[in-house]
Structure 1
Amino acid sequence: MSRQAAGLSARQEAVLRGVREWIAEHGEGPSLREIGARVGPSSTSSGAYQLGRREEPGFISRTGRCWRTCRLHP
């Protein structure tokens, strides 16, 4: 199932793309501020909300409390 078929908004897709690119470049997940800098101005709480909503359907998982521990799932 594609992400668009899963009902992701353009903003949610941009956040996931930003996380994917950051992990590819740095080898670890980005902080909320780094996500905001990459995908556009937003508050850290908005970024946390967007990422948290992606955890439920299984797009993202974390091994700790920090978003730097996030991993994307295909």
Structure 2
Amino acid sequence: MLTDQQIRIARSAREYVAEHGEAPSMRELAAAVGLSSVATIAYHLQRMRERGEPVATRGRRISRRCPSCGR
């Protein structure tokens, strides 16, 4: 079961996707639910994923591949 805060996060993420056509960044998601801390959003997102309620966010992807050759 999700907390009230997690429900607000999930709802805000869905609304953002509907409006913008892409997932929000964690900063945008934090602003949408009235939080100033991205770490708090990250904490809630991790707990939500553990409970089987994934919420998509966009941001930098960590890649181990070489940007020049793709290896």
Q: Deviations over 1:25-46 (max 9, x none)?
A: 1111111110111111230010
Structure 1 residue runs of 5 or longer lacking an equivalent are 1-6, 70-74
Higher relative strand content: 1
Tell me: higher relative CO, structure 1 or 2? Use CA pairs within 8 A at least 6 residues apart. 2
Pick from 17, 27, 33: which aligns with 1:23? Answer: 17
Aligned residues: 59
User: Radius of gyration: which is bigger?
Assistant: 2
Structure 2 residue runs of 5 or longer lacking an equivalent are 60-71
Tell me the C-alpha RMSD between the 2 structures.
1.8
Paired residue secondary structure (1:23): helix
In the superposition, the TM-score normalised over structure 2's length comes to 0.71
In the superposition, the TM-score normalised over structure 1's length comes to 0.69
